[in-house]
Amino acid sequence: MYQYSNFDHEFVAQRVAQFRAQVARRLDGSLSEEEFKPLRLMNGLYLQLHAYMLRVAIPYGTLNGRQMDQLATIAERWDKDYGHFTTRQNIQFNWPKLEDVPDILQALADVEMHAIQTSGNTIRNVTADHFAGAAADEIADPRPIAELIRQWSTDHPEFQFLPRKFKIAVTGSPHDRAVTQAHDIGLRMTLQDGLRGFEVIVGGGLGRTPMIGKTLSPFVPLEDILPYLEAVVSTYNLLGRRDNKYKARIKITTHEHGIDDIKHRVETKFVKIKPLFTGEDMHILKEIERHFEPPNFKPAKPPVEAISTTSQPPAFRAWLDTNITPHKVPGYAIVSVSLKKPGATPGDASAAQMRALADIARDFGHDELRISNEQNVILPHVHRADLPQVYHALRQADLATANIGLISDIIACPGMDYCALATARSIPVAQQIATRFHALKLEHDIGPLKLKISGCVNACGHHHVGHIGILGLEKAGVESYQITLGGDAGEEAEIGTHAGPGFGADQIVPAIERLILGYLHLRANETESFLEAYRRLGLAPFKALLYPQEKKAA
Partner 1 sequence: MSVTPISKVVTANDLRSGEVIYLRFPHSWTPELSKASVITDDDLAQAGLAFAKGQANVVVGAYLSDVVAEIDGPKASHFRDTFRSTGPSNYRHGKQEI
In the bound complex, what is the minimum distance in angstroms from residue 68's beta carbon to partner 1?
Answer: 21
Q: If DSSP codes are grouped into helix, strand and coil, which group holds residue 113?
A: coil
Q: Give the residue with the Cβ less far from partner 1, 26 or 463.
A: 26
CB of 76 to partner 1, least distance (A): 15
Dihedral over alpha carbons 46, 47, 51, 55 (to 10 degrees) = -10
Of the pair 49, 440, the CB lying nearest partner 1 is at: 49
CA distance 338 to 376: 5
- Total residues at the site for partner 1 (CB under 8 A)? 31
Assess 47 for contact with partner 1 (CB under 8 A): yes
Nearest 5°: the CA angle 323, 326, 327 is: 115
Pinpoint the alpha helices (H) of 304-422: 314-323, 351-364, 387-396
Please say which residue, 82 or 236, places its beta carbon nearer to partner 1: 82
CB neighbour class for 474 (10 Å; exposed up to 12, middle 13-18, buried from 19): middle
State which amino acid sits at residue 156: H
Among 21, 24, 27, 195, indicate the residue that binds partner 1 (CB under 8 A).
Answer: 27
Of 45 and 495, which has the nearer Cβ to partner 1?
A: 45
Residues 427 to 486 in contact with partner 1, rule: CB under 8 A: 427-428, 431, 474, 477-479
CB 410, CB 451: distance < 8 Å: yes
Comparing C-alpha atoms, which of 233, 232, 223, 142 is closest to residue 188? 142
Site for partner 1 in 366-425 (CB under 8 A): 416-418, 425
Min CB(457)–partner 1 separation in Å: 15
d(Cα 510, Cα 235) in Å, to the nearest integer?
Answer: 48
Cβ neighbours of 63 (radius 10 Å): 28
Q: Residue from 6, 7, 33, 276 that binds partner 1 (CB under 8 A)?
A: 33
| 135 neighbors 173 (Cβ within 8 angstroms) | yes
Taking alpha carbons only, the member of 437, 477, 480 closest to residue 455 is 480
Q: Which stretch in 8-16, 138-146, 368-376, 426-434 sits in contact with partner 1 by CB under 8 A? A: 426-434
Q: Which stretch binds partner 1 (CB under 8 A): 48-56, 267-275, 310-318, 319-327?
A: 48-56
Q: How far is the CB of 331 from partner 1 (least distance, A)?
A: 40
Least Å distance, CB 456 to partner 1, is: 11
Binding-site string for partner 1 from residue 488 to residue 507, where x marks contact by CB under 8 A and - marks none: --------------------
Which range touches partner 1 (CB under 8 A), out of 42-50, 182-190, 370-378, 530-538? Answer: 42-50
Q: Which is nearer to partner 1, 80 or 247 (CB)?
A: 80
Among 2, 15, 26, 262, binds partner 1 (CB under 8 A): 26
Find the shortest distance in angstroms from Cβ 346 to partner 1.
10
Answer for which of 20, 25, 66, 80 binds partner 1 (CB under 8 A) is: 80
- What gap in Å lies between CA 249 and CA 256, rounded to an integer? 11
Task: Find the binder of partner 1 among 8, 18, 39, 52 (CB under 8 A).
Answer: 52
Contact 376, 340 (CB under 8 A): yes
With respect to partner 1, which residue has the nearer C-beta, 54 or 200? Answer: 54
Region from 24-32, 59-67, 145-153, 180-188 binding partner 1, contact rule CB under 8 A: 24-32
Nearest to 382 by CA among 358, 360, 356: 360
Whether the CB-CB separation of 71 and 354 falls below 8 Å is answered with: yes
Q: Which stretch binds partner 1 (CB under 8 A): 22-30, 287-295, 382-390, 543-551?
A: 22-30
Choose, by CB under 8 A, the member of 13, 17, 39, 51 that binds partner 1. 51
Measured from the CB atom, the residue of 26 and 188 that comes closer to partner 1 is 26
Q: Would you say 147 and 65 are in contact if contact means Cβ atoms under 8 Å apart? A: no
Gap between the Cα atoms of 412 and 347, Å rounded: 8
415: left (phi over 0), alpha (psi -120 to 50) or beta: left
| 186-225 residues near partner 1, rule: CB under 8 A | none
Residue numbers 85-114 binding partner 1 by CB under 8 A: 94-95, 97-99
Rounded (5°) CA angle 175-404-440 = 135
Contact call for residues 431 and 408 (beta carbons, < 8 A): no
Report the C-alpha gap between 411 and 180 in whole angstroms. 17
Which residues is 206 bridged to in the sheet? none
Q: Which residues bind partner 1 (CB under 8 A)?
A: 26-29, 32-33, 47-52, 80, 94-95, 97-99, 345, 348, 416-418, 425, 427-428, 431, 474, 477-479
